[in-house]
Structure 1
Amino acid sequence: MLYYKGAWVQGVWIPPNTSLGVHQWATYRSETNFHDANGYHPERWMRNPKFKNDRLDCVQIFSVGATSFPAEIFLWYVIRLVFASRLLNFDIELADEASEWPRQKSYWIWRTRPLMCRILPVKKIVAA
C-alpha cells in the first residue's frame, strides 16, 4: 500500500510516498486476526461460532498489489468450470430441513441460512 499523503499506522507516522506492507505469514498467524491462529481449523471457514471473531477478510490467497497473481481471474473461471463439471456427476435434492428456506428475513440485506441438500451419485439411465 502506498501512502501519497502519509498516514498514522498503529501509532507510527508513515511519511508521504512510502510503501508499506505486511507479510502474509504474520497476518495469518496473528492471534489478533484469528482464534488459535497456529492451529489447523478448517471449520473456521464454515461459520463455526467458535471462530466468529476471526478476520477472514484479511486473507488474500492471491496476494495484492504488484505481487498479486496475474492470472487470478482466469483461475477463478477454471475453479468454477471444474466445480460445474463435478456437479454433472451428482444429483442434488433438497433436504427436509430446507422446507422453510424460502421464508427468510430480509431487512437492508438478505441474511440467508444454509441451504441443506443431499448430494447423491447420478442415477444412470440405461437405454434399451
Structure 2
Amino acid sequence: MTNKLITPQFMEAIKNFPLYSQEEKGKDAICVAVFTIGRIRWFVLEGQTEGNDFMLFTIVCGLCETEYGYVSANELEKIEIDGSKYGINDKFHVCQVKGFTPTKLKDIQDNELRSFLHRLYSKPQKS
C-alpha cells in the first residue's frame, strides 16, 4: 500500500486502535491523528489495512454536518482543491496535522467537535 497520508508515524500511532476497538468509549475515545483540508477536519479514532487501502473510522467536522463515519485513506489522498479558482496558483490536498499528540476526544479544543460530542453524550438534566 502506497499512500502519502499513511506514514510510519501514523502507523505507530494507530497500531493499537484497529477498527471497532474504541466502541462505547464516547468522549473518552482516543483521537490518534487529524487530517485536514481547508476547514474540513477528520479526527481519526481507528483504522486498519484492508487490501491495498487503509480504512479509517473518524469524526468529520467542517462539512454540512459533523458525523462519525468510515473513510478510505486512498479516497482522502485523491481529494484536491484547485486554488486557481480562488486566485491562488496551487492545488491543495488533505494532509495530516503535524505535531498532533494522541488525545481523548473530550480534551481536543475544537468548537465543532465539542458541540457534536456534547449533543451525543451529555445526559439531559432532570426537572
The TM-score range, normalised by the shorter chain, is under 0.3
Query: Could you state the TM-score of these two structures normalised by the residue count of structure 2?
Result: 0.21
Q: Hey, which of these two has a bigger chunk of helix by percent?
A: 1
Q: Hey, which of these two has a bigger chunk of strand by percent?
A: 2
Bigger Rg, structure 1 or 2: 1
